[in-house]
């Protein structure tokens, strides 16, 4: 079987790594890929949002299965285009992927189908949004409606920050057209947990829980990023919470989507806040999360291709998905300045040594002669297993310690909430 993975980040490196373990897979292509992926797959220089270009590659290479990493091509309709050409693709169709593409739509579906979430209001004009903030006060959460690379959510602890967020999103258009609508939500107190689940539109099978670290600095300080690290399992996600999330959130979401004519097939990600009143949905993603995927996939014991084929054939209920009892931790090594402006082209050293301790998933890297250099904000996702979260943390940071590049930054406290328990 020939497989094409779409995307070029840490999540896609983890997907390529896992897919290559399947005895069914003979060849893996990745578009556009990165320097780490290039060591285990054939990279094709086609962007993840160039749907016509990707379709051409899939047809020319005789691809049997396409696995989509990022959200943008799904929301742009890649699923439809590939399926119309008779190709098998793992990822929801456009109308289903819109649950991530529009935060306002996601909130409407949650309210309609009684899925627990924060109270909210949506606005198409900055003035009305600012008046709402002044009336309701802070802390409060401001969200750009559309895609913003994981950076469109501002948790404002004071009114001034919230008002500035509205101005940035709606007037300065820092996220472009994604900021035509803003969603403003009540601030929820609690601990976050990420639940990814496989679904064929009928059966929903949650993966092992993980917890992401969104803020750039230790102690959850600084601006939101695409994610600075993750660990799995997350102790906050108890067996009781699992039952509640499945019954009250995941199953009603998939059923509600079907009722709306948005049949959902693939991976759905629910970002939850565990409050004193139970779990509430913060956001949905229509694909594997990043960096949660790195911490989750290294624990997956079942052949990923077998799971994907069962989903495409609507027989997910027949697959017994197995997981390792070990814990996993992923530490993101980023470029100085991220999530703002950052320099590129810095030579990365120590990758071979780090890979002897853990698994180094590449994100923003490219080959330059005989060297590998930085080419993005998030550069590497250094991942390790251990018999406990503490062991996995120790192993991940031992691997991190082998790596160096100019201006590197990373959090030193990934998994701290677990240790605090």
> If you write DSSP's letter for every residue of 27-67 in order, what string do you get?
EEEEEE--TTGGGTSEE----TT-HHHHHHHHHHHT-SEEE
CB within 8 A of 50, min separation 6: which ones?
A: none
- What is the C-alpha to C-alpha distance for residues 89 and 80, in angstroms, rounded to an integer? 9
Whether the CA torsion 345, 347, 350, 355 is positive or negative: it is: positive
DSSP line for 393-404? HHHHHHHHTT-B
Q: Tokens at residue 194, please?
A: 């990420």
CB within 8 A of 389, min separation 6: which ones?
A: 231, 233, 235, 327, 329, 415, 418, 419
How many beta carbons lie within 10 A of that of residue 221, not counting itself? 9
Task: Check residue 223 and give its pLDDT.
Answer: 86
User: Which of 67, 160, 69, 145 is closest to 103 using CA atoms?
Assistant: 145
Task: Check residue 419 and give its pLDDT.
Answer: 86
210 and 292 Cβ atoms separated by less than 8 Å: yes
Task: Check residue 106 and give its pLDDT.
Answer: 96
Which residue ranges form the domains of the chain, and what is each CATH number?
Answer: 2-93 (3.40.50.20), 125-180 (3.30.1490.20), 191-318 (3.30.470.20), 327-420 (3.90.600.10)
Q: Tokens at residue 187, please?
A: 């601030």
Mean pLDDT, contiguous 10-residue spans, the chain (421 residues) = 98 98 98 98 97 98 98 96 97 96 95 97 96 96 87 91 95 92 95 96 97 94 92 95 96 97 97 95 95 98 98 98 98 96 97 97 96 98 98 98 98 92 76
Q: Tokens at residue 77, please?
A: 């309709």
Model pTM? 0.95
Task: Check residue 421 and give its pLDDT.
Answer: 76
Q: Give Cα separations from 286 to 95, 97, 155, 250, 394 (angstroms).
A: 11, 5, 22, 13, 32
Q: Tokens at residue 202, please?
A: 């009928």
- Encode 227-263: b = buried (16+ Cβ within 10 Å), e = exposed: bbbbbbbbbbbeeebeebbbebbbbbbbebbeebebb
């Amino acid at each position: 079987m020939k497989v094409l993975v779409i995307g070029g980040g840490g999540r896609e490196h983890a997907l390529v790594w896992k897919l290559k373990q399947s005895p069914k897979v003979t060849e893996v292509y990745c578009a556009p890929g990165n320097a780490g992926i290039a060591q285990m797959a054939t990279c094709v220089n086609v962007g993840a949002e160039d749907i016509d270009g990707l379709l051409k590659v899939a047809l020319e290479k005789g691809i049997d299965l396409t696995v989509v990493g990022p959200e943008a091509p799904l929301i742009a309709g890649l699923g439809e285009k590939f399926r119309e050409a008779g190709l098998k693709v793992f990822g929801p169709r456009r109308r289903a992927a819109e649950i991530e593409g529009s935060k306002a739509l996601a909130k409407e579906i949650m309210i309609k189908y009684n899925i627990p979430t924060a109270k909210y209001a949506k606005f198409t004009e900055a003035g009305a949004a600012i008046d709402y903030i002044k009336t309701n006060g802070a802390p409060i959460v401001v969200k750009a409606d559309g895609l913003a690379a994981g950076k469109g959510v501002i948790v404002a602890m004071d009114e001034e920050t919230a008002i500035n967020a509205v101005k940035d999103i709606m007037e300065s258009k820092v996220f472009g057209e994604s900021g035509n609508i803003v969603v403003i939500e009540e601030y929820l107190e609690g601990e976050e947990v990420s639940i990814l689940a496989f679904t064929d539109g009928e059966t929903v099978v949650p993966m092992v829980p993980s917890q992401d670290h969104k803020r750039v600095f230790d102690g959850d300080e600084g601006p939101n990023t695409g994610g600075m690290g993750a660990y799995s399992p997350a102790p906050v996600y108890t067996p009781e919470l699992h039952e509640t999330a499945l019954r009250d959130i995941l199953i009603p979401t998939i059923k509600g989507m079907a009722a709306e004519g948005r049949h959902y097939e693939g991976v759905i990600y629910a970002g939850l806040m565990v409050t004193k009143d139970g779990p509430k949905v913060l956001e949905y993603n229509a694909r594997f999360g990043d960096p949660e995927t790195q911490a989750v996939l290294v624990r997956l014991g079942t052949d990923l291709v077998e799971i994907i084929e069962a989903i495409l054939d609507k027989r997910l209920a027949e697959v017994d998905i197995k997981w390792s009892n070990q814990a996993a931790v992923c530490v993101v090594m980023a470029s100085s300045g991220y999530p703002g402006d950052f320099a590129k082209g810095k030579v990365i050293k120590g990758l071979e040594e780090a890979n002897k301790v853990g698994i180094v998933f590449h994100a923003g890297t490219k080959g330059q002669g005989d060297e590998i250099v930085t080419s993005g904000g998030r550069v590497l996702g250094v991942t390790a297993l251990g018999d406990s979260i503490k062991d996995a943390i120790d192993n991940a940071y031992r691997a991190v310690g082998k790596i160096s590049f100019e201006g590197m930054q990373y959090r030193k406290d990934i998994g701290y909430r677990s240790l605090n328990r």
